[in-house]
Structure 1
Amino acid sequence: MKKVNLSDRILKLEEVNVFPAVERNVYKAEMKKLKTRINRATLYAKYLGRPIVFVFEGWDAAGKGGAIRRLTQEIDPRLYEVHNIAAPDPQEKVRHYLWRFWNRIPNKGYVGIFDRSWYGRVLVERVEGFCSEEEWSRSYEEIVLFEEQLANFGTIIIKFWLHITSEEQLARFEARKNDPLRRWKLTDEDWRNREKWGEYVEAANEMFLRTDTPFAPWKIVPARDKYFARIDILSKVVDTLERELAIPKKFR
């Protein structure tokens, strides 16, 4: 397993610069360059039999869905599955919280994309009181061991947190509220979560501290500008896959 230098990365939300932006013409040019590389990298992973897991976490309205759509446009549709993770159903509630994720881990050579993930245990379940402090406190070690088992199996794990400011989130909520075509995206729960912004920042920072590992490092993406965020995500995907798969340059 290749080591990743974690020491020079910012993993505290208060220290993230959320203002990087790119012009539309730059965005289109960069995306065009990345498309072929992502397609080839995922096909090469299929050839080698390496599973890939993408985890998308972040604030409500930060652009996770849009980023996932841009990513999947470049992957053979036969190779990936997107898992939109909501509250556990009755069958899942009576089992260990990781059970429903084990059942969604991709086979060798395939891609699993998680829109929300097992990190809900130490985020929403922690903040909203859906589990006890003892339960979420021990979950950090459980999650690290879970991801380590996947990595030892050959799985490439790429974890993203899409970060925006509270003010930017409010502006996007208001835009959704006033748009009949997007109003359905906004729920009462979204508004309630805003009231606990500080608690979620605290939970996220501890999550980064406790679960950022060489085999599954976190990548915080400034997402105020959606063009910048999408380029940043796809670039990190390409760089990680080409490094982990040791793709020969002639195939890039």
Structure 2
Amino acid sequence: MPIDLTEFERGVPFSGDVAEALEALGHRLARLQLSQIVHRKRAIILFEGWMGSGKRAVLKRLVGSLDPTYVRVVKVAGSDDMDDERHWLAPFWSRLPAAGNTTIFYRSWYRLVLEQRMLGNMDDKRWARALDEINEFEAQQRDHGTMIAKLFFHVTPEKQAASLRARQEDPWLRHLRDFQPIIGPTNRERANEVLQDFFAHTNTRWAPWTPIDANDDMAGCIAALTAVADQMEKTMPAEPPAMGETIVPFRTPKASETNSA
């Protein structure tokens, strides 16, 4: 199913109380994660988007709302870090979440194929095969009972340029600047063509994309956190598990056991 990113460029500020909305979302995410933990459900969350689109700030908000002992953040740098001796998806298999856990991919398998396509290292046949392999991979996770939330943060060229300029001017933020950005400001026309194609092939019913209008920072943050919470609410059971063999009841120790200790 195709996605038109130009529909996510309004940058309308959030109409309510930002602090109140963020606090409510934090409580909501924490409650949903508790259901995930006790029901031993798995969750995968992907953060993709333009360089300078606010992904890192939203990631901090999201992780700050969750129990960090059940969350793993994986930063995907690029194809240079991959092992050529293995299938290109192999490193992601080893980082999938265990029962009750969440893995957040800050950039993902999509970034690897997008990078190769943008650099001209992936012809039409290999590109189609890679997208098919991604769809199969995500379908396998869904069939295994794993929640998948895929977020793409979109900003206009003007917003992106302003964000990158602010990074460059701050000596403490310059390290965040990718000096060869694959979907940076100089490659937008080509990147838009490639993105349009991969959305058309990977926006599946079992793992749909959620575009985030990140042109207003706080509105984009609230939209992204809401999207994750909505997806969790569809997936995580609303009721606590019944008492059974998998639940160990609390037992007050006897006086003799306390004294012996």
TM-score by length of 2: 0.86
Larger Cα-atom Rg:
2
- The offset of 1:144, in angstroms, is 0.6
Cα distance change of structure 1 residues 187 and 43 upon mapping to structure 2, 3 Å threshold: same
Residues 92-138 of structure 1 show CA distances to partners (whole Å, capped at 9, x for unaligned) of 22221111111111111100000100102432211112434322221
Equivalent residue for 1:203, pick from 167, 185, 194: 194
Match of 1:47? 38
Matched, 1:22 2:14: yes
| Cα distance in 2 for residues equivalent to 1:68 and 1:193 | 20
SS at match of 1:92: coil
> What is the match of residue 230 of structure 2?
239
Match of residue 104 from structure 2: 113
Partner of 2:59: 68
CA contact (8 A) 2:45 2:104 kept: yes
The Cα RMSD (Å) is: 2.0
Tell me if the contact between 1:56 and 1:64 (Cα under 8 Å) persists in the aligned partners. yes
Identify the range of structure 1 (127-136 vs 75-84) with the bigger mean alpha-carbon deviation.
127-136
Farther-moved stretch of structure 1 (125-134 vs 101-110): 125-134
Residue 101 of structure 1 is matched in structure 2 by: 92
State, as a whole percentage, how many aligned pairs show the same letter: 30
Q: Report the number of matched residues.
A: 240
The TM-score normalised by the length of structure 1 is 0.89
Report the residue type matching 1:16 in the other structure: F
Looking at structure 1, the residues matched to 137 and 31 of structure 2 have their Cα atoms a distance apart, in angstroms, of 28
- Residue 167 (structure 2) aligned to one of 176, 182, 191: 176
Cα deviations by residue, 1:26-58 (Å, 9 ceiling, x for unpaired): 211101111111011111111111100000100
Work out the CA distance in 1 between the residues paired with 2:182 and 2:8.
Answer: 23
Q: Partners in 1 of 2:101 and 2:6 — Cα distance?
A: 35
In the other structure, the counterpart of 2:134 is 143
Question: Could you list the per-position Cα deviations for residues 154-184 of structure 1 after superposition, in whole angstroms to 9, with x for gaps in the alignment?
Answer: 0000000000011111111111111111111
Helix, strand or coil for the counterpart of 1:202?
helix
With over 3 angstroms needed to count, the CA separation of the structure-2 counterparts of 1:14 and 1:63, relative to structure 1, is same
Q: Could you tell me how far 1:13 is from its partner in structure 2?
A: 1.2
The letter for the 2-side match of 1:169 is Q
